[in-house]
Amino acid sequence: MKILVTVKRVVDANVKIRVKPDQTGVDLANVKMAINPFCEVAVEGAVRQREAGRATEVVAVSAGPASCQETLRTAMAIGADRAILVKTDVELQPLAVAKLLKAVAERERPMVVLLGKQAIDDDSNATGQMLAALLGWPQGTFISKLEFGDGVVTVQREIDGGLQTLSLTLPAVLTTDLRLNEPRYASLPNIMKAKRKPIEELTPEALGVDVTPRLKLIEMREPPARPVGQKVASVAELVARLRDEAKVI
């Protein structure tokens, strides 16, 4: 069983992002980039399946500029066997990524495509769902557990009301919640080994996919700065100020 796992290169979660002065997006100049945390969970989940003998191969795929190679190396240092980079400098939106992933899935014929539930840069939470629709495969989103059976995968989903268990026929599209696992730190020998693993390069044109953006960003703004807090001396003062100044009670 082959697992295709997707990895997106995003601004590191610890970086405080800045909006560009012309409000056309986030300033990426000299900003530390990293693998999207949900994708890291997906890679760990896929590698654990191979280590347990249920998957035979884990293939990492990323779409974007040449720098995504670094993200693919991270995935291979965690344990992915090989990688595919769909190279493009066009800014990719979820529908374009889903179409690219569909084309890659049709070439690779995996039993599972495992994605992060969302990318922390655009927070779209859409690519996995779109991919499942385009492939016509069942989807299990926000999964926090998975177990393979004969031709099926049983997943536990994190939903508003609690946990939902679904049984899906394979092949299927799954997206990971953070609680699926805790990704390992890649060891130095594995980082070195990852440097020798192959990255195949494809292009949207070679896959026959039009990645022209369909959505237009009108404006991006920083959230309004929060006013500074004030300390009150007593509950009585708090109640008085809520009533007389803030007029909320």
Q: Considering beta carbons, is residue 55 or 63 the nearer one to ligand AMP?
A: 63
Measured from the CB of residue 15, what is the shortest distance to ligand AMP in angstroms?
18
> If you compute the radius of gyration of the chain from its CA atoms, what whole number of angstroms results?
21
Measured from the CB of residue 123, what is the shortest distance to ligand AMP in angstroms?
6
Q: Considering beta carbons, is residue 50 or 99 the nearer one to ligand AMP?
A: 99
Q: Considering beta carbons, is residue 39 or 55 the nearer one to ligand AMP?
A: 39
Peptide bond into 171 cis (omega under 30): yes
Residues that bind ligand AMP (CB under 6 A): 6-8, 36, 38-39, 62-64, 92, 94, 97, 115-116, 118-119, 122, 124-128
Q: Considering beta carbons, is residue 62 or 74 the nearer one to ligand AMP?
A: 62
106-132 CB burial, b ≥16 within 10 A, e <16: eeeebbbbbbbbbbbbbeebbbbbbbb
Amino acid at the residue 33: M
- Asked if 41 contacts 181 with a C-beta cutoff of 8 angstroms, the reply is yes
Distance CA 47, CA 82 (A): 12
CB nearest ligand AMP: which residue? 116
Measured from the CB of residue 165, what is the shortest distance to ligand AMP in angstroms?
22
Distance CA 39, CA 45 (A): 10
Measured from the CB of residue 133, what is the shortest distance to ligand AMP in angstroms?
13
